[in-house]
Structure 1
Protein backbone atom coordinates (compact mmCIF):
# COMPACT_ATOMS: atom_id res chain seq x y z
CA UNK A 1 0.00 0.00 0.00
CA UNK A 2 1.29 3.47 -0.90
CA UNK A 3 0.08 6.72 0.65
CA UNK A 4 -0.13 10.08 -1.12
CA UNK A 5 -0.70 13.43 0.61
CA UNK A 6 -1.68 16.93 -0.54
CA UNK A 7 -2.58 20.24 1.07
CA UNK A 8 -5.89 21.63 -0.19
CA UNK A 9 -5.97 25.39 0.41
CA UNK A 10 -9.08 27.47 1.08
CA UNK A 11 -10.08 30.77 -0.51
CA UNK A 12 -11.71 34.13 0.05
CA UNK A 13 -13.62 36.14 -2.56
CA UNK A 14 -12.25 39.67 -2.50
CA UNK A 15 -14.93 40.68 -4.98
CA UNK A 16 -18.04 38.69 -5.85
CA UNK A 17 -20.33 40.21 -8.46
CA UNK A 18 -23.42 38.15 -9.28
CA UNK A 19 -25.19 38.69 -12.59
CA UNK A 20 -28.43 37.23 -13.89
CA UNK A 21 -29.36 33.58 -13.65
CA UNK A 22 -28.44 31.57 -16.76
CA UNK A 23 -30.39 28.90 -18.59
CA UNK A 24 -28.30 26.20 -16.89
CA UNK A 25 -29.43 27.45 -13.48
CA UNK A 26 -26.10 29.07 -12.57
CA UNK A 27 -25.58 32.81 -12.21
CA UNK A 28 -23.09 34.78 -14.27
CA UNK A 29 -20.23 35.71 -11.93
CA UNK A 30 -17.35 38.14 -11.89
CA UNK A 31 -15.23 37.27 -8.88
CA UNK A 32 -11.70 37.78 -7.60
CA UNK A 33 -10.42 34.73 -5.72
CA UNK A 34 -7.44 34.67 -3.42
CA UNK A 35 -6.07 31.48 -1.88
CA UNK A 36 -5.66 31.30 1.89
CA UNK A 37 -3.25 29.32 4.05
CA UNK A 38 -5.97 27.44 5.93
CA UNK A 39 -5.79 24.01 4.28
CA UNK A 40 -7.22 20.51 4.55
CA UNK A 41 -4.84 17.54 4.44
CA UNK A 42 -6.07 15.09 1.81
CA UNK A 43 -4.67 11.55 1.74
CA UNK A 44 -5.20 8.82 -0.87
CA UNK A 45 -4.22 5.35 0.33
CA UNK A 46 -3.63 3.01 -2.60
CA UNK A 47 -4.65 -0.61 -2.03
CA UNK A 48 -3.22 -3.72 -3.68
CA UNK A 49 -6.61 -4.38 -5.30
CA UNK A 50 -7.28 -3.55 -8.96
CA UNK A 51 -10.59 -2.96 -10.74
CA UNK A 52 -11.68 -2.15 -14.27
CA UNK A 53 -15.01 -0.59 -13.23
CA UNK A 54 -14.76 3.17 -12.61
CA UNK A 55 -17.55 2.97 -10.01
CA UNK A 56 -15.32 0.72 -7.88
CA UNK A 57 -12.07 2.71 -7.80
CA UNK A 58 -12.94 4.40 -4.48
CA UNK A 59 -13.35 2.01 -1.56
CA UNK A 60 -14.00 4.51 1.23
CA UNK A 61 -14.05 8.22 2.04
CA UNK A 62 -13.63 9.59 5.57
CA UNK A 63 -13.56 13.16 6.89
CA UNK A 64 -12.23 14.10 10.33
CA UNK A 65 -11.45 17.28 12.22
CA UNK A 66 -9.19 17.18 15.27
CA UNK A 67 -9.54 13.40 15.24
CA UNK A 68 -13.34 13.51 15.32
CA UNK A 69 -15.46 12.28 12.43
CA UNK A 70 -17.29 15.12 10.62
CA UNK A 71 -20.88 13.98 10.29
CA UNK A 72 -21.81 16.96 8.09
CA UNK A 73 -19.36 15.91 5.34
CA UNK A 74 -20.66 13.14 3.03
CA UNK A 75 -18.54 9.99 2.99
CA UNK A 76 -19.96 8.50 -0.20
CA UNK A 77 -20.18 9.49 -3.86
CA UNK A 78 -21.83 12.78 -2.88
CA UNK A 79 -18.38 13.91 -1.77
CA UNK A 80 -16.62 15.84 -4.54
CA UNK A 81 -13.27 14.20 -3.73
CA UNK A 82 -14.79 10.76 -4.38
CA UNK A 83 -16.15 11.94 -7.74
CA UNK A 84 -12.83 13.59 -8.56
CA UNK A 85 -10.98 10.27 -8.29
CA UNK A 86 -13.60 8.60 -10.48
CA UNK A 87 -13.32 11.35 -13.10
CA UNK A 88 -9.53 10.93 -13.34
CA UNK A 89 -9.87 7.15 -13.64
CA UNK A 90 -12.48 7.62 -16.37
CA UNK A 91 -10.16 9.96 -18.30
CA UNK A 92 -7.38 7.35 -18.21
CA UNK A 93 -9.81 4.59 -19.17
CA UNK A 94 -10.70 6.49 -22.33
CA UNK A 95 -7.03 6.62 -23.32
CA UNK A 96 -6.13 3.11 -22.16
CA UNK A 97 -8.98 0.73 -22.91
CA UNK A 98 -9.15 -2.33 -20.68
CA UNK A 99 -6.85 -0.88 -18.02
CA UNK A 100 -7.31 -1.87 -14.39
CA UNK A 101 -6.90 0.72 -11.66
CA UNK A 102 -5.77 0.41 -8.03
CA UNK A 103 -8.53 1.02 -5.51
CA UNK A 104 -8.05 4.00 -3.18
CA UNK A 105 -9.28 5.12 0.22
CA UNK A 106 -9.74 8.86 0.70
CA UNK A 107 -9.07 10.53 4.05
CA UNK A 108 -9.56 14.24 4.71
CA UNK A 109 -8.23 15.97 7.79
CA UNK A 110 -10.50 19.01 7.73
CA UNK A 111 -9.38 22.46 8.79
CA UNK A 112 -11.57 24.36 6.31
CA UNK A 113 -15.09 24.67 7.75
CA UNK A 114 -17.83 22.76 5.93
CA UNK A 115 -20.50 24.95 4.27
CA UNK A 116 -18.47 27.99 5.31
CA UNK A 117 -18.01 29.88 2.04
CA UNK A 118 -14.30 28.95 1.87
CA UNK A 119 -14.65 26.14 -0.71
CA UNK A 120 -13.49 23.30 1.52
CA UNK A 121 -15.25 20.62 -0.51
CA UNK A 122 -13.93 22.07 -3.76
CA UNK A 123 -10.41 22.24 -2.32
CA UNK A 124 -10.56 18.55 -1.35
CA UNK A 125 -11.77 17.69 -4.85
CA UNK A 126 -8.88 19.61 -6.41
CA UNK A 127 -6.38 17.74 -4.24
CA UNK A 128 -8.00 14.41 -5.12
CA UNK A 129 -7.72 15.24 -8.84
CA UNK A 130 -3.99 15.95 -8.58
CA UNK A 131 -3.23 12.90 -6.43
CA UNK A 132 -5.30 10.52 -8.55
CA UNK A 133 -3.57 11.80 -11.69
CA UNK A 134 -0.16 11.02 -10.24
CA UNK A 135 -1.24 7.64 -8.86
CA UNK A 136 -2.81 6.38 -12.09
CA UNK A 137 -0.06 7.76 -14.34
CA UNK A 138 2.54 5.98 -12.22
CA UNK A 139 0.50 2.77 -12.18
CA UNK A 140 0.05 2.75 -15.97
CA UNK A 141 3.57 4.11 -16.56
CA UNK A 142 2.26 6.88 -18.81
CA UNK A 143 2.37 10.68 -18.81
CA UNK A 144 0.09 12.50 -16.38
CA UNK A 145 -3.06 14.16 -17.68
CA UNK A 146 -1.60 17.51 -16.68
CA UNK A 147 -3.08 20.75 -15.38
CA UNK A 148 -4.99 21.60 -18.55
CA UNK A 149 -7.03 18.39 -18.52
CA UNK A 150 -7.42 18.47 -14.74
CA UNK A 151 -8.87 21.98 -15.01
CA UNK A 152 -11.48 20.65 -17.47
CA UNK A 153 -12.38 17.83 -15.09
CA UNK A 154 -12.49 20.32 -12.21
CA UNK A 155 -15.05 22.50 -14.01
CA UNK A 156 -17.32 19.48 -14.41
CA UNK A 157 -17.17 18.89 -10.64
CA UNK A 158 -18.02 22.41 -9.51
CA UNK A 159 -17.55 26.10 -10.23
CA UNK A 160 -14.92 26.69 -7.50
CA UNK A 161 -12.85 23.56 -8.16
CA UNK A 162 -10.72 24.99 -11.02
CA UNK A 163 -9.52 27.87 -8.85
CA UNK A 164 -8.75 25.54 -5.97
CA UNK A 165 -6.37 23.69 -8.31
CA UNK A 166 -4.45 26.86 -9.20
CA UNK A 167 -4.72 29.10 -6.13
CA UNK A 168 -2.93 32.45 -5.69
CA UNK A 169 -5.05 35.34 -7.07
CA UNK A 170 -7.33 34.97 -10.09
CA UNK A 171 -10.32 36.50 -11.82
CA UNK A 172 -13.19 34.06 -12.27
CA UNK A 173 -15.94 34.66 -14.83
CA UNK A 174 -18.77 32.56 -16.24
CA UNK A 175 -19.76 30.33 -13.32
CA UNK A 176 -16.47 31.41 -11.71
CA UNK A 177 -14.61 28.61 -13.50
CA UNK A 178 -13.17 30.66 -16.39
CA UNK A 179 -9.92 31.85 -14.87
CA UNK A 180 -7.40 34.61 -15.53
CA UNK A 181 -4.38 35.27 -13.31
CA UNK A 182 -4.27 38.63 -11.52
CA UNK A 183 -1.23 40.42 -10.15
CA UNK A 184 -1.20 40.77 -6.38
CA UNK A 185 1.60 42.41 -4.42
CA UNK A 186 2.37 41.70 -0.79
CA UNK A 187 0.45 39.48 1.58
CA UNK A 188 -2.86 40.05 3.31
CA UNK A 189 -3.81 38.95 6.81
CA UNK A 190 -7.28 37.86 7.77
CA UNK A 191 -9.26 36.85 10.80
CA UNK A 192 -11.87 34.33 9.72
CA UNK A 193 -14.86 34.23 12.04
CA UNK A 194 -16.24 30.72 11.58
CA UNK A 195 -19.86 30.04 12.41
CA UNK A 196 -20.89 26.84 14.18
CA UNK A 197 -23.74 26.42 11.68
CA UNK A 198 -23.43 26.21 7.88
CA UNK A 199 -25.32 28.07 5.17
CA UNK A 200 -26.58 26.53 1.92
CA UNK A 201 -25.09 28.12 -1.19
CA UNK A 202 -28.21 27.45 -3.36
CA UNK A 203 -30.40 29.03 -0.68
CA UNK A 204 -28.24 32.16 -0.63
CA UNK A 205 -28.43 32.57 -4.42
CA UNK A 206 -32.20 32.00 -4.31
CA UNK A 207 -32.57 34.62 -1.59
CA UNK A 208 -30.54 37.08 -3.69
CA UNK A 209 -32.96 36.55 -6.60
CA UNK A 210 -35.87 37.18 -4.22
CA UNK A 211 -34.31 40.39 -2.89
CA UNK A 212 -33.57 41.66 -6.38
CA UNK A 213 -37.20 41.11 -7.37
CA UNK A 214 -38.28 43.36 -4.49
CA UNK A 215 -35.45 45.87 -4.13
CA UNK A 216 -33.00 47.79 -6.30
CA UNK A 217 -29.99 45.52 -5.79
CA UNK A 218 -27.67 45.82 -8.76
CA UNK A 219 -24.88 43.49 -9.85
CA UNK A 220 -21.36 44.79 -9.26
CA UNK A 221 -19.31 43.36 -12.12
CA UNK A 222 -16.45 45.89 -12.33
CA UNK A 223 -13.23 44.72 -10.66
CA UNK A 224 -11.13 47.80 -11.48
CA UNK A 225 -10.99 49.05 -7.89
CA UNK A 226 -10.02 45.74 -6.29
CA UNK A 227 -7.48 45.00 -9.05
CA UNK A 228 -5.73 48.33 -8.47
CA UNK A 229 -5.76 47.75 -4.71
CA UNK A 230 -4.05 44.37 -5.16
CA UNK A 231 -1.41 45.96 -7.38
CA UNK A 232 -0.69 48.54 -4.69
CA UNK A 233 -0.11 45.90 -2.01
CA UNK A 234 -1.84 48.22 0.47
CA UNK A 235 -4.28 46.41 2.82
CA UNK A 236 -5.99 49.71 3.68
CA UNK A 237 -6.77 50.28 0.02
CA UNK A 238 -7.92 46.70 -0.40
CA UNK A 239 -10.22 47.12 2.60
CA UNK A 240 -12.08 49.86 0.77
CA UNK A 241 -12.59 47.76 -2.33
CA UNK A 242 -13.99 44.52 -0.85
CA UNK A 243 -17.46 43.67 -2.15
CA UNK A 244 -19.86 40.72 -2.18
CA UNK A 245 -23.23 40.81 -3.96
CA UNK A 246 -24.30 37.76 -1.95
CA UNK A 247 -23.81 39.51 1.38
CA UNK A 248 -27.34 41.01 1.68
CA UNK A 249 -28.84 37.58 0.99
CA UNK A 250 -26.58 35.82 3.49
CA UNK A 251 -27.38 38.44 6.15
CA UNK A 252 -31.10 38.12 5.42
CA UNK A 253 -30.95 34.36 5.99
CA UNK A 254 -28.60 34.65 8.97
CA UNK A 255 -29.16 38.01 10.77
CA UNK A 256 -26.73 36.88 13.49
CA UNK A 257 -23.87 37.38 11.01
CA UNK A 258 -24.39 41.15 11.33
CA UNK A 259 -23.37 40.82 14.96
CA UNK A 260 -20.11 39.21 13.90
CA UNK A 261 -19.44 41.91 11.30
CA UNK A 262 -20.06 44.67 13.84
CA UNK A 263 -17.91 42.91 16.44
CA UNK A 264 -15.09 42.65 13.89
CA UNK A 265 -15.26 46.36 13.13
CA UNK A 266 -15.29 47.22 16.84
CA UNK A 267 -12.29 44.94 17.33
CA UNK A 268 -10.39 47.11 14.85
CA UNK A 269 -10.51 45.14 11.58
CA UNK A 270 -9.93 47.28 8.48
CA UNK A 271 -13.04 45.80 6.86
CA UNK A 272 -15.32 42.80 7.10
CA UNK A 273 -17.09 40.83 4.41
CA UNK A 274 -19.15 37.66 4.12
CA UNK A 275 -16.85 35.04 2.57
CA UNK A 276 -18.48 33.70 -0.59
CA UNK A 277 -22.01 32.52 0.22
CA UNK A 278 -21.20 32.55 3.95
CA UNK A 279 -21.54 32.08 6.81
CA UNK A 280 -17.82 32.72 7.48
CA UNK A 281 -16.99 36.39 8.02
CA UNK A 282 -13.61 37.49 6.62
CA UNK A 283 -12.01 40.38 8.52
CA UNK A 284 -9.08 42.07 6.79
CA UNK A 285 -6.25 43.30 9.03
CA UNK A 286 -3.21 45.52 8.49
CA UNK A 287 -0.61 42.86 9.30
CA UNK A 288 -0.04 39.70 11.32
CA UNK A 289 0.24 41.50 14.66
CA UNK A 290 -2.99 43.38 13.97
CA UNK A 291 -4.74 40.11 13.05
CA UNK A 292 -3.68 38.55 16.33
CA UNK A 293 -5.05 41.57 18.21
CA UNK A 294 -8.39 41.36 16.40
CA UNK A 295 -8.55 37.60 17.01
CA UNK A 296 -8.02 38.17 20.72
CA UNK A 297 -10.86 40.70 20.85
CA UNK A 298 -13.27 38.24 19.24
CA UNK A 299 -12.48 35.21 21.40
CA UNK A 300 -15.60 34.25 23.27
CA UNK A 301 -18.04 35.65 20.70
CA UNK A 302 -21.05 33.36 20.94
CA UNK A 303 -21.33 30.71 18.22
CA UNK A 304 -18.09 31.82 16.54
CA UNK A 305 -14.59 30.36 16.29
CA UNK A 306 -11.82 32.63 15.02
CA UNK A 307 -8.65 31.72 13.14
CA UNK A 308 -5.89 33.85 11.65
CA UNK A 309 -4.72 33.20 8.12
CA UNK A 310 -3.07 34.98 5.21
CA UNK A 311 -2.94 35.02 1.44
CA UNK A 312 -2.29 34.66 -1.35
CA UNK A 313 -1.67 30.93 -1.00
CA UNK A 314 -1.00 28.42 -3.79
CA UNK A 315 -3.38 25.78 -5.06
CA UNK A 316 -2.89 22.09 -4.37
CA UNK A 317 0.52 21.25 -2.85
CA UNK A 318 1.60 17.61 -3.03
CA UNK A 319 4.00 16.36 -0.40
Structure 2
Protein backbone atom coordinates (compact mmCIF):
# COMPACT_ATOMS: atom_id res chain seq x y z
CA UNK A 1 0.00 0.00 0.00
CA UNK A 2 1.50 3.35 -1.05
CA UNK A 3 -0.83 5.66 0.87
CA UNK A 4 -3.21 5.38 3.85
CA UNK A 5 -5.59 8.01 5.23
CA UNK A 6 -7.01 7.75 8.75
CA UNK A 7 -9.39 10.06 10.58
CA UNK A 8 -9.58 10.51 14.35
CA UNK A 9 -12.10 12.47 16.45
CA UNK A 10 -11.95 15.30 18.94
CA UNK A 11 -12.08 14.47 22.63
CA UNK A 12 -14.07 16.07 25.40
CA UNK A 13 -14.07 15.34 29.12
CA UNK A 14 -17.57 14.80 30.46
CA UNK A 15 -15.93 14.82 33.87
CA UNK A 16 -12.35 15.74 34.66
CA UNK A 17 -11.34 14.87 38.21
CA UNK A 18 -7.86 16.12 39.16
CA UNK A 19 -5.91 14.77 42.12
CA UNK A 20 -2.91 16.10 44.07
CA UNK A 21 0.29 16.65 42.11
CA UNK A 22 2.61 13.62 42.14
CA UNK A 23 6.35 13.52 42.65
CA UNK A 24 6.85 13.33 38.86
CA UNK A 25 4.91 16.56 38.38
CA UNK A 26 1.81 14.93 36.91
CA UNK A 27 -1.65 14.93 38.46
CA UNK A 28 -3.63 11.68 38.80
CA UNK A 29 -6.84 11.93 36.82
CA UNK A 30 -10.22 10.26 36.90
CA UNK A 31 -11.98 11.30 33.73
CA UNK A 32 -14.87 10.27 31.52
CA UNK A 33 -14.03 10.83 27.87
CA UNK A 34 -16.35 11.16 24.91
CA UNK A 35 -15.33 11.33 21.24
CA UNK A 36 -17.08 14.02 19.16
CA UNK A 37 -17.76 14.33 15.44
CA UNK A 38 -15.01 16.86 14.76
CA UNK A 39 -12.22 15.09 12.90
CA UNK A 40 -8.66 15.48 11.77
CA UNK A 41 -7.22 13.27 9.03
CA UNK A 42 -3.69 12.03 8.56
CA UNK A 43 -2.44 10.73 5.22
CA UNK A 44 0.72 8.61 5.36
CA UNK A 45 2.52 8.11 2.04
CA UNK A 46 5.41 5.74 1.47
CA UNK A 47 8.68 7.68 1.20
CA UNK A 48 12.42 7.27 1.63
CA UNK A 49 12.68 10.25 3.99
CA UNK A 50 10.64 11.84 6.78
CA UNK A 51 8.43 14.86 6.07
CA UNK A 52 5.38 16.58 7.51
CA UNK A 53 2.90 19.04 6.01
CA UNK A 54 -0.32 20.46 7.38
CA UNK A 55 -3.53 22.11 6.22
CA UNK A 56 -6.72 23.20 7.98
CA UNK A 57 -10.36 22.91 7.02
CA UNK A 58 -13.68 24.17 8.40
CA UNK A 59 -11.98 27.38 9.45
CA UNK A 60 -9.26 25.74 11.56
CA UNK A 61 -6.14 27.92 11.85
CA UNK A 62 -2.99 25.79 11.58
CA UNK A 63 -0.43 28.61 11.55
CA UNK A 64 0.82 27.58 14.99
CA UNK A 65 1.20 23.86 14.25
CA UNK A 66 4.88 22.83 14.42
CA UNK A 67 6.20 20.89 11.44
CA UNK A 68 9.42 19.72 13.08
CA UNK A 69 10.32 16.83 15.39
CA UNK A 70 8.21 18.30 18.20
CA UNK A 71 5.01 17.46 16.29
CA UNK A 72 3.20 14.58 17.98
CA UNK A 73 2.27 12.92 14.69
CA UNK A 74 5.87 12.76 13.50
CA UNK A 75 6.93 11.49 16.92
CA UNK A 76 4.27 8.77 16.64
CA UNK A 77 5.57 7.62 13.27
CA UNK A 78 9.18 7.52 14.47
CA UNK A 79 8.19 5.63 17.62
CA UNK A 80 6.34 3.02 15.58
CA UNK A 81 9.23 2.70 13.12
CA UNK A 82 11.70 1.98 15.91
CA UNK A 83 15.15 1.16 14.59
CA UNK A 84 13.93 0.12 11.14
CA UNK A 85 15.24 2.22 8.24
CA UNK A 86 11.85 3.63 7.27
CA UNK A 87 10.50 6.93 6.02
CA UNK A 88 7.07 8.44 5.53
CA UNK A 89 5.47 11.60 4.21
CA UNK A 90 2.73 12.70 6.60
CA UNK A 91 0.04 15.24 5.79
CA UNK A 92 -2.24 16.50 8.55
CA UNK A 93 -5.64 17.82 7.48
CA UNK A 94 -6.91 19.35 10.71
CA UNK A 95 -10.61 19.77 11.35
CA UNK A 96 -10.14 19.89 15.13
CA UNK A 97 -9.31 23.37 16.47
CA UNK A 98 -5.70 23.77 17.55
CA UNK A 99 -4.82 24.35 21.24
CA UNK A 100 -8.48 24.26 22.19
CA UNK A 101 -8.64 21.53 24.82
CA UNK A 102 -10.04 19.05 22.27
CA UNK A 103 -6.91 16.86 21.96
CA UNK A 104 -6.34 17.62 18.29
CA UNK A 105 -2.64 16.77 18.50
CA UNK A 106 -3.48 13.49 20.21
CA UNK A 107 -5.96 12.69 17.44
CA UNK A 108 -3.19 13.32 14.88
CA UNK A 109 -0.87 10.96 16.74
CA UNK A 110 -3.48 8.20 17.03
CA UNK A 111 -4.35 8.51 13.35
CA UNK A 112 -0.65 8.35 12.47
CA UNK A 113 -0.16 5.14 14.46
CA UNK A 114 -3.05 3.47 12.64
CA UNK A 115 -1.97 4.80 9.23
CA UNK A 116 1.69 3.80 9.54
CA UNK A 117 0.79 0.42 11.01
CA UNK A 118 -1.26 -0.24 7.87
CA UNK A 119 1.20 1.40 5.45
CA UNK A 120 4.14 -0.62 6.74
CA UNK A 121 2.18 -3.86 7.19
CA UNK A 122 3.21 -4.19 10.83
CA UNK A 123 0.05 -6.03 11.87
CA UNK A 124 -0.19 -4.54 15.38
CA UNK A 125 -3.59 -4.88 17.03
CA UNK A 126 -5.32 -1.93 18.72
CA UNK A 127 -4.08 -2.93 22.19
CA UNK A 128 -0.46 -2.91 20.99
CA UNK A 129 -0.93 0.47 19.31
CA UNK A 130 -2.41 1.75 22.59
CA UNK A 131 0.85 0.93 24.35
CA UNK A 132 2.74 3.04 21.83
CA UNK A 133 0.07 5.73 22.25
CA UNK A 134 0.56 5.87 26.02
CA UNK A 135 4.23 6.75 25.47
CA UNK A 136 3.21 9.75 23.40
CA UNK A 137 0.63 11.46 25.60
CA UNK A 138 -2.23 11.04 28.02
CA UNK A 139 -5.05 11.51 25.48
CA UNK A 140 -3.58 9.50 22.59
CA UNK A 141 -4.85 6.05 23.69
CA UNK A 142 -8.42 7.33 23.90
CA UNK A 143 -8.20 8.78 20.39
CA UNK A 144 -7.48 5.24 19.16
CA UNK A 145 -10.61 3.82 20.78
CA UNK A 146 -13.13 6.67 20.76
CA UNK A 147 -16.68 6.17 22.00
CA UNK A 148 -17.11 6.91 25.69
CA UNK A 149 -14.50 5.68 28.15
CA UNK A 150 -12.91 6.23 31.52
CA UNK A 151 -9.35 7.45 31.84
CA UNK A 152 -7.11 6.98 34.88
CA UNK A 153 -3.44 7.50 35.70
CA UNK A 154 -2.54 10.56 33.62
CA UNK A 155 -5.60 9.71 31.50
CA UNK A 156 -3.77 7.08 29.43
CA UNK A 157 -5.35 4.03 31.15
CA UNK A 158 -8.51 3.76 29.08
CA UNK A 159 -11.49 1.47 29.59
CA UNK A 160 -14.71 1.60 27.51
CA UNK A 161 -17.86 2.87 29.19
CA UNK A 162 -21.38 1.58 28.68
CA UNK A 163 -23.16 4.42 26.86
CA UNK A 164 -26.66 4.03 25.44
CA UNK A 165 -27.03 7.65 24.41
CA UNK A 166 -26.57 10.05 21.52
CA UNK A 167 -25.69 13.56 22.63
CA UNK A 168 -25.74 16.85 20.76
CA UNK A 169 -23.15 19.43 21.72
CA UNK A 170 -22.31 22.99 20.78
CA UNK A 171 -18.55 23.47 20.64
CA UNK A 172 -17.49 27.10 21.05
CA UNK A 173 -13.89 27.80 20.01
CA UNK A 174 -11.83 30.97 20.15
CA UNK A 175 -8.86 32.52 18.39
CA UNK A 176 -6.65 32.11 21.48
CA UNK A 177 -5.37 29.12 23.42
CA UNK A 178 -4.76 28.18 27.03
CA UNK A 179 -1.56 26.42 28.08
CA UNK A 180 -2.36 23.08 29.72
CA UNK A 181 0.73 23.25 31.99
CA UNK A 182 -0.29 26.78 33.02
CA UNK A 183 -3.81 25.58 33.89
CA UNK A 184 -2.44 22.79 36.08
CA UNK A 185 -0.01 25.19 37.72
CA UNK A 186 -2.94 27.49 38.50
CA UNK A 187 -4.84 24.50 39.89
CA UNK A 188 -1.94 23.89 42.28
CA UNK A 189 -1.92 27.54 43.34
CA UNK A 190 -5.67 27.45 44.00
CA UNK A 191 -5.23 24.40 46.21
CA UNK A 192 -2.01 25.41 47.92
CA UNK A 193 -2.09 24.33 51.55
CA UNK A 194 -5.31 22.36 51.10
CA UNK A 195 -5.72 18.60 50.91
CA UNK A 196 -6.73 17.58 47.39
CA UNK A 197 -8.70 14.32 47.44
CA UNK A 198 -8.06 11.46 45.05
CA UNK A 199 -10.25 11.98 42.00
CA UNK A 200 -13.28 9.83 41.21
CA UNK A 201 -15.82 9.71 38.39
CA UNK A 202 -19.30 10.46 39.78
CA UNK A 203 -21.61 7.45 39.93
CA UNK A 204 -24.42 9.68 38.65
CA UNK A 205 -22.51 10.29 35.43
CA UNK A 206 -21.87 6.60 34.83
CA UNK A 207 -25.57 5.89 35.45
CA UNK A 208 -26.67 8.63 33.05
CA UNK A 209 -24.46 7.27 30.26
CA UNK A 210 -25.60 3.69 30.82
CA UNK A 211 -29.21 4.86 30.57
CA UNK A 212 -28.54 7.23 27.68
CA UNK A 213 -30.04 10.08 29.70
CA UNK A 214 -29.23 13.54 28.36
CA UNK A 215 -30.79 15.26 31.37
CA UNK A 216 -28.90 12.96 33.73
CA UNK A 217 -25.65 13.70 31.93
CA UNK A 218 -26.31 17.44 32.12
CA UNK A 219 -26.62 17.21 35.89
CA UNK A 220 -23.41 15.20 36.30
CA UNK A 221 -20.78 16.81 34.01
CA UNK A 222 -17.92 18.66 35.65
CA UNK A 223 -14.34 19.83 35.35
CA UNK A 224 -12.02 20.28 38.35
CA UNK A 225 -9.66 22.28 36.15
CA UNK A 226 -12.31 24.84 35.17
CA UNK A 227 -11.78 27.26 38.09
CA UNK A 228 -8.07 27.41 37.26
CA UNK A 229 -8.76 28.06 33.58
CA UNK A 230 -11.24 30.81 34.49
CA UNK A 231 -8.54 32.42 36.63
CA UNK A 232 -6.28 32.51 33.57
CA UNK A 233 -9.11 33.54 31.19
CA UNK A 234 -11.88 35.24 33.20
CA UNK A 235 -13.47 36.31 29.92
CA UNK A 236 -14.69 32.72 29.45
CA UNK A 237 -17.25 33.20 32.22
CA UNK A 238 -19.47 35.32 29.96
CA UNK A 239 -19.98 32.77 27.14
CA UNK A 240 -20.53 30.00 29.69
CA UNK A 241 -23.30 32.05 31.31
CA UNK A 242 -24.70 33.04 27.92
CA UNK A 243 -25.00 29.39 26.91
CA UNK A 244 -27.10 28.62 29.98
CA UNK A 245 -29.18 31.74 29.34
CA UNK A 246 -29.74 30.44 25.80
CA UNK A 247 -31.23 27.23 27.31
CA UNK A 248 -28.22 24.88 27.07
CA UNK A 249 -28.68 21.99 29.49
CA UNK A 250 -25.09 22.28 30.75
CA UNK A 251 -22.01 24.41 30.08
CA UNK A 252 -18.40 23.64 30.89
CA UNK A 253 -14.84 24.29 29.78
CA UNK A 254 -13.31 21.48 27.72
CA UNK A 255 -10.24 20.17 29.55
CA UNK A 256 -7.87 23.07 30.16
CA UNK A 257 -9.80 25.17 27.63
CA UNK A 258 -10.41 27.58 26.17
CA UNK A 259 -13.07 25.69 24.18
CA UNK A 260 -16.46 25.71 25.89
CA UNK A 261 -19.05 22.94 25.59
CA UNK A 262 -22.83 23.20 25.76
CA UNK A 263 -25.11 20.17 25.95
CA UNK A 264 -28.37 20.34 23.98
CA UNK A 265 -31.54 18.28 23.87
CA UNK A 266 -31.33 17.54 20.15
CA UNK A 267 -29.88 18.88 16.88
CA UNK A 268 -32.39 21.72 16.44
CA UNK A 269 -31.89 22.82 20.03
CA UNK A 270 -28.12 22.78 19.47
CA UNK A 271 -28.54 25.00 16.41
CA UNK A 272 -30.48 27.55 18.49
CA UNK A 273 -27.85 27.55 21.23
CA UNK A 274 -25.07 27.90 18.65
CA UNK A 275 -26.80 30.90 17.07
CA UNK A 276 -26.91 32.64 20.45
CA UNK A 277 -23.18 32.05 21.05
CA UNK A 278 -21.78 33.10 17.68
CA UNK A 279 -20.81 36.56 18.94
CA UNK A 280 -18.21 35.04 21.25
CA UNK A 281 -16.31 32.82 18.80
CA UNK A 282 -16.88 29.95 16.39
CA UNK A 283 -19.89 27.91 17.52
CA UNK A 284 -20.42 24.59 15.76
CA UNK A 285 -22.58 21.57 16.39
CA UNK A 286 -21.10 18.11 17.02
CA UNK A 287 -22.44 14.84 18.34
CA UNK A 288 -21.05 11.93 20.31
CA UNK A 289 -20.03 9.35 21.01
CA UNK A 290 -18.28 8.43 17.73
CA UNK A 291 -15.59 5.80 16.96
CA UNK A 292 -11.89 6.43 17.37
CA UNK A 293 -9.19 6.40 14.67
CA UNK A 294 -10.38 4.58 11.53
CA UNK A 295 -9.03 4.13 8.01
CA UNK A 296 -10.97 6.25 5.54
TM bucket (normalised to shorter chain) is over 0.9
Name the residue aligned to 1:58: 50
Tell me, in whole angstroms, the C-alpha distance in 2 between the residues paired with 1:235 and 1:67.
29
1:196 positional shift: 1.1
1:6 positional shift: 1.0
* Residue 263 to residue 132, structure 1, CA distance change in 2 (3 Å): same
Name the residue aligned to 1:86: 78
Which residue of the other structure, out of 287, 293, 296, is the alignment partner of 1:310?
287
Greater CA drift, 183-192 or 19-28 = 19-28
**Bigger Rg over Cα:** 1
Contact 1:63 1:73 in 2 (8 A): no
Aligned length: 296
Q: What's the RMSD between the two structures over aligned residues?
A: 1.8
Contact 1:211 1:217 in 2 (8 A): no
Tell me, in whole angstroms, the C-alpha distance in 2 between the residues paired with 1:161 and 1:182.
17
* Residue 222 to residue 8, structure 1, CA distance change in 2 (3 Å): closer
Gaps in structure 1 of 5+ consecutive residues: 50-56, 94-98, 138-142
Contact 1:19 1:28 in 2 (8 A): yes
Name the residue aligned to 1:145: 124
Tell me, in whole angstroms, the C-alpha distance in 1 between the residues paired with 2:169 and 2:59.
26
1:220 positional shift: 4.7
Which residue of the other structure, out of 69, 73, 83, is the alignment partner of 1:77?
69
Tell me, in whole angstroms, the C-alpha distance in 1 between the residues paired with 2:58 and 2:218.
33
2:225 maps to 1:246: yes
Greater CA drift, 228-237 or 28-37 = 228-237
Contact 2:240 2:251 in 1 (8 A): yes
TM-score scaled to structure 2, two decimals? 0.95
Tell me, in whole angstroms, the C-alpha distance in 2 between the residues paired with 1:208 and 1:233.
32
* Residue 212 to residue 114, structure 1, CA distance change in 2 (3 Å): same
1:61 positional shift: 3.3
Tell me, in whole angstroms, the C-alpha distance in 2 between the residues paired with 1:247 and 1:68.
24
